[in-house]
Amino acid sequence: MSILILVRHGQSTWNLEKKFTGWVDVDLTDKGRTEAEKAGLLIKQEKVKIQYYYSSLQLRANNTLKIIQKVLGDEKKFFRAWQLNERHYGTLTGLNKIEMSEKIGEKKIHEFRRSWDIKPEPLEKDNLYHPLNIETYKELPRDLLPDTESLKDTYERVIKYFKEETEKKLASNNILISAHGNSIRALCKYLFKLDNNQISELEIPTGNPLLIKFSGNKKVLNAYYLDLDRAKDLLVF
d(CA 25, CA 68): 19
- Catalytic residue, from 35, 86, 130, 180: name it: 86
The three-class DSSP label of residue 171 is helix
- Does 8 map to a domain? yes
9 is annotated as an active-site residue = yes
Indicate whether 218 belongs to any domain: yes
Domain presence at residue 118: no
Averaged over successive runs of 10 residues, the pLDDT of the chain (237 residues) comes to 97 97 98 98 97 98 98 97 98 94 83 87 97 98 97 98 96 96 97 94 96 90 96 88
> Could you tell me whether strands 79-80 and 220-225 are parallel, antiparallel, or unpaired per DSSP bridges?
unpaired
Q: Give the count of domains, the chain.
A: 1
Report in angstroms the alpha-carbon separations of 105 from 86, 99, 108, 149: 23, 9, 6, 20
- Name the pairing type of β-strands 210-214 and 2-8: antiparallel
Please report the pLDDT score of residue 10 as a whole number.
Answer: 98
Known catalytic membership, residue 111 = no
Question: Whole-prediction pTM value?
Answer: 0.96
What pLDDT sits at residue 114?
78
Q: Is residue 105 part of a domain?
A: no
CA 215, chain centre distance (Å): 24
Beta strand spans in the chain (E): 2-8, 52-55, 79-80, 175-179, 210-214, 220-225
Helix (H, G, I), strand (E, B) or coil at 201: helix
Which entry of 9, 88, 130, 180 is annotated as an active-site residue? 9
Q: State the CATH number of the domain containing residue 26.
A: 3.40.50.1240
The answer to whether residue 122 is domain-embedded is no
- DSSP state letters, 11-31: PBHHHHTTB--TT----B-HH
- Domain boundaries, position 160: 2-86+150-230
- Report if residue 109 sits inside a domain: no
Does residue 95 lie in a domain region? no
Q: Considering the domain boundaries, does residue 204 fall inside one?
A: yes
Distance of alpha carbon 154 from the chain centroid: 10
